Structure 1
């Protein structure tokens, strides 16, 4: 016998037993709608009420299966006997805790009115109909369940939601129970994670504090970090006062915060840029700056306190010297580089060299004396002794003198024109005179170079002129001394010698060095002696015949010798001693420096020996 839940009431059981199959399997969702469902509920309630009222009657209605026969109700004692029989019969349903989700049979349960009515219905049902009772009950149960579901869906949706929630909570509790065993092990991981979080949070908090501190002082840090770039900009634009102020400001910050890494880095960068500023200032000194600009630049360098006083003086002079050398190499050396062996190019180089020296060296010395006053105390200045400071400018002048002298020694030998030498010497003399006014006379060290070169050129002219006359006389012989009809091509010997000396004198008088008098006197004497000796050698070729040609040759020879001895040589000596050196060497004993006694002896011998009436 199947176990049915106790949720069905007696009225439900009675309604199931009295209904026909169509009513049992009636679909509540048929076309009858809600009105049909209400009529069935009312009929069921009336049947239940009628069944409950007939329990105590001696006469009852019992279905025979066809619904037409009427039976007399059984006494209530029969029901009690049936209850006793059910309770005494061993069955899984006569226990309080039955299987499944139903409730076990008990005397108290069967004594309830609704169960009593159902038992009465079972007793009044024929035996042939009892096997169909479970199906009838199941169908009625399904019908009622469907009705309850429709009713619930229609009027009580909260119950369904609650049911779903109960199911979800039940499954969630089951799921939670599975993870409760893993919870203690997870607590250890959570503890370590919390420790890691605390350490990271501490580091983040410290970093946040630093960031907040940086944000609070962001303008100051920005100014500090932009200091190197600002210093470079100021120096590039020539604002050296502001650049020095900024440099001193950074140095004060470094002294107040010696342990700050940022300040150290900025201070080091500013220090490196300050050296760049120094180089920029020194480069400015190499520019053609007036005195006021030079004073301002030196003032910036002194304020920077990077160089001591003596080093600053040397650096200033070195900068000006570098500009001078650069101009000499670029301006003066351009023409010479194109024509390295040209005499005119060498003369042009010397001229430009002197011009550049007058512009740069003279200006450098004048500005140095105005900017750097000479010290008269014995106290050291800038770490150097006063003697060292006072020797800086003389050393600079000495360097220039050596440089000037070396260039003269190199380029003057290429110039052989006395007029060109005289012009260049006058040009250089103006430079020496200007430097002498500043106490830096360079004429004495370089004078010997000019003297030597002029002496070499004059000696060369005397020597080449005398040699040319001698060779012409030797080539022409005695016939060359005779006058030619129409003048001829060459000049007579006396006139050629006189022209040679006067030409040299005209050029020499512009560059007559007194120190060259003895040397040039010897050169003049040697030239005259060479011509006289050539005349004597020519006399040996004379013929002492009586022919008109021979007589004429001897007369011409004698006249030439007398003219040389009596006119040309005295005039040449006088022109040398009085015309060339008379004005520059007055009172210094120039007269008589040219010794012509030997020349006169040679000429007298030429006259007496070769022009006598007899043959030698």
Structure 2
């Protein structure tokens, strides 16, 4: 069949009119070009396309049902909005008459503005005087930023008088606000000067300005001064390197001693705590200063506590001497804190000893794990004749311990700990040190028992004899020698003198400067021969406090001899530091004398300045300013 021609197309268009679409025309053209078989199958194909399109429509509706719901909701909202718009338009139409009334009111306001313009024209005639007043905030800001505080205070006083006379004028209120901002800036600058390294004349001048500003009470002014100077001192202390605890605490102590005394001198020169309090006053102004000093001392003690916990090595005695000297110098201001130093150094010394004893126990355990009795006795101790009993006043380590390496190394480590403790050994540590060593020796006994249980089945007759000698040397040589060392560190006569009891009654107080050998050896009793311990081994012999045998304790090993040389060198350095501190004290006293002289001169200048200021104020009060 031929394609639909133009006439047929126009005919269809005239029949269907608006319903005839180009798609219909295209389909008719396609339909007219089909063969008979295709025309027969066309209804089926159309049915299938219809079913497919229907299925796709269902799928589309199923997948986008939320969109349809939102579309419906949106349509409803739009309908409501249009309803509101319609209501608003109706209300606008109703308010148009009111708009006309307001327009007429606007015309009246315009007339008033014209009147104001005429007033401004009148004001122009006083332009010069008004301009000077309006430039006061700018002039005030310039004076403050350039440090002309005297002129700034005069301007502030003049503005206060203006405020009292014309407080209702908006322009005066604006000037007052701007001047107050400049005054606040000046206040911050003055306080910032107190937070810097300012000498006494600067501090006197700054406090004088603050008093004239009249923003703080006397008590508040003292607090602000101490806070600012404390902030400056804290910044100096924060700049001290903290890598080495000893260096950090010594430099901190030096900075506190020098600068803190300067701050105290400045405070006492500026403020007087000798005056009687005002009637009805509730603030104890003297307590403000003492509270601040206590706070600074507490911060120093906290720093000292932290550095002691970090460890200062073998220089604990040097640090204690410097701290005691520092505390003694502070007694002049009523802040002697030496009584609080003893517990801190005592804890530090005890902690150092505990760490050293713990390391000695670990090394002893390692030595016992690899120890064998095959190579014993050594050539060092095998040819040494038996020692006689310990003689009073001597402190020689038992040479028989050289036959047993673990015991010798353990004793050497304990003696190293004793040498470190000897530099700073308060009597108050007697019980704590004794308990620490009691526990340590009990651990040593357990290690010996573990070694015996592990190796007993493989012992030969020779090894059994050697192990028995090992235990006897431990019981008869090492333990009594440690007791004698404890007696050197904590003389019984000193402990008895402190407790107020005879030396023979010290055993009633438990472990004070000795260890309980019988309790330590109880687990080893089945291995030791039945030896009756001499009374002098149980009751420690008394040593005279006049005999100094600490050098004998320090010469026990080559390592401790080297430590003694280092200690002597540190003592020399400490002596030099003390000499430098004394020299600095002399310089500080000289500075205090100079400061006192400067204070007298400054007081005189303040008196002269106050007289001049009183004259200028009286002249200013005579002026009368009026603004129309």
What TM-score comes out, normalization by structure 1 length? Answer: 0.53
For residue 164 of structure 2, the aligned residue among 236, 242, 255 is 255
**Higher helix proportion:** 2
Distance 2:490 2:483 in 1: 11
Kindly indicate whether the alpha-carbon contact (under 8 Å) linking 1:482 and 1:556 is maintained by their aligned counterparts in 2.
no
Select the structure of larger CA radius of gyration. Answer: 1
In the alignment, which residue of structure 2 is the partner of 1:230?
139
User: How far has the Cα of 1:372 moved from its partner?
Assistant: 1.9
Tell whether 2:435 aligns with 1:526: no
In the alignment, which residue of structure 1 is the partner of 2:516?
598
User: How far has the Cα of 1:514 moved from its partner?
Assistant: 3.9
In the alignment, which residue of structure 2 is the partner of 1:469?
364
In the alignment, which residue of structure 1 is the partner of 2:282?
385
Distance 1:275 1:582 in 2: 68
In the alignment, which residue of structure 2 is the partner of 1:273?
182
For residue 425 of structure 2, the aligned residue among 469, 489, 512 is 512
CA RMSD of superposed structures (Å):
4.5
Distance 1:564 1:385 in 2: 68
Tell whether 2:328 aligns with 1:438: no
In the alignment, which residue of structure 2 is the partner of 1:314?
223
User: How far has the Cα of 1:419 moved from its partner?
Assistant: 1.9
Kindly indicate whether the alpha-carbon contact (under 8 Å) linking 1:401 and 1:446 is maintained by their aligned counterparts in 2.
no
How many pairs align?
A: 393
User: How far has the Cα of 1:247 moved from its partner?
Assistant: 1.8
For residue 371 of structure 1, the aligned residue among 257, 266, 270 is 270
Kindly indicate whether the alpha-carbon contact (under 8 Å) linking 2:487 and 2:514 is maintained by their aligned counterparts in 1.
no
Distance 1:318 1:353 in 2: 19
Kindly indicate whether the alpha-carbon contact (under 8 Å) linking 2:380 and 2:402 is maintained by their aligned counterparts in 1.
no
Quick one: structure 1 residues 588 and 435, their matched pair in 2 at CA, closer, same or farther if it must change by over 3 Å?
same
Secondary structure in 2 aligned to 1:391?
helix
In the alignment, which residue of structure 1 is the partner of 2:478?
564
Aligned runs of 1:570-581 on 2, under 5 Å?
570-578=483-491
Tell whether 2:495 aligns with 1:588: no
Kindly indicate whether the alpha-carbon contact (under 8 Å) linking 2:187 and 2:210 is maintained by their aligned counterparts in 1.
yes
Quick one: structure 1 residues 478 and 286, their matched pair in 2 at CA, closer, same or farther if it must change by over 3 Å?
same
In the alignment, which residue of structure 2 is the partner of 1:458?
353
Distance 2:427 2:475 in 1: 32
User: How far has the Cα of 1:480 moved from its partner?
Assistant: 7.2
Quick one: structure 1 residues 422 and 259, their matched pair in 2 at CA, closer, same or farther if it must change by over 3 Å?
same
Quick one: structure 1 residues 254 and 479, their matched pair in 2 at CA, closer, same or farther if it must change by over 3 Å?
same
Secondary structure in 2 aligned to 1:368?
helix
Q: Which runs of 5+ in 2 are unaligned?
A: 1-111, 383-400, 532-628
In the alignment, which residue of structure 2 is the partner of 1:610?
528
Distance 1:514 1:362 in 2: 33
User: How far has the Cα of 1:385 moved from its partner?
Assistant: 1.9
Quick one: structure 1 residues 351 and 405, their matched pair in 2 at CA, closer, same or farther if it must change by over 3 Å?
same
In the alignment, which residue of structure 1 is the partner of 2:583?
none
Aligned runs of 1:147-162 on 2, under 5 Å?
none
Kindly indicate whether the alpha-carbon contact (under 8 Å) linking 1:354 and 1:431 is maintained by their aligned counterparts in 2.
yes
Distance 1:228 1:203 in 2: 26
Kindly indicate whether the alpha-carbon contact (under 8 Å) linking 2:196 and 2:232 is maintained by their aligned counterparts in 1.
yes
What TM-score comes out, normalization by structure 2 length? Answer: 0.52
Quick one: structure 1 residues 227 and 529, their matched pair in 2 at CA, closer, same or farther if it must change by over 3 Å?
same
Q: Which runs of 5+ in 1 are unaligned?
A: 1-198, 337-343
Secondary structure in 1 aligned to 2:125?
helix
Aligned runs of 1:67-466 on 2, under 5 Å?
210-214=123-127, 218=128, 220-329=129-238, 331-332=239-240, 344-345=243-244, 349-380=248-279, 384-387=281-284, 389-404=285-300, 406-407=302-303, 412-413=308-309, 415-416=310-311, 418-419=313-314, 421-422=316-317, 424-445=319-340, 448-466=343-361
Aligned runs of 1:10-89 on 2, under 5 Å?
none
Kindly indicate whether the alpha-carbon contact (under 8 Å) linking 1:524 and 1:594 is maintained by their aligned counterparts in 2.
no
Quick one: structure 1 residues 446 and 208, their matched pair in 2 at CA, closer, same or farther if it must change by over 3 Å?
same
User: How far has the Cα of 1:556 moved from its partner?
Assistant: 5.7
In the alignment, which residue of structure 2 is the partner of 1:175?
none
Distance 1:452 1:515 in 2: 10
Quick one: structure 1 residues 492 and 611, their matched pair in 2 at CA, closer, same or farther if it must change by over 3 Å?
farther
User: How far has the Cα of 1:287 moved from its partner?
Assistant: 0.4
In the alignment, which residue of structure 1 is the partner of 2:613?
none
Quick one: structure 1 residues 315 and 474, their matched pair in 2 at CA, closer, same or farther if it must change by over 3 Å?
same
In the alignment, which residue of structure 2 is the partner of 1:28?
none
Kindly indicate whether the alpha-carbon contact (under 8 Å) linking 1:287 and 1:323 is maintained by their aligned counterparts in 2.
yes
User: How far has the Cα of 1:532 moved from its partner?
Assistant: 5.2
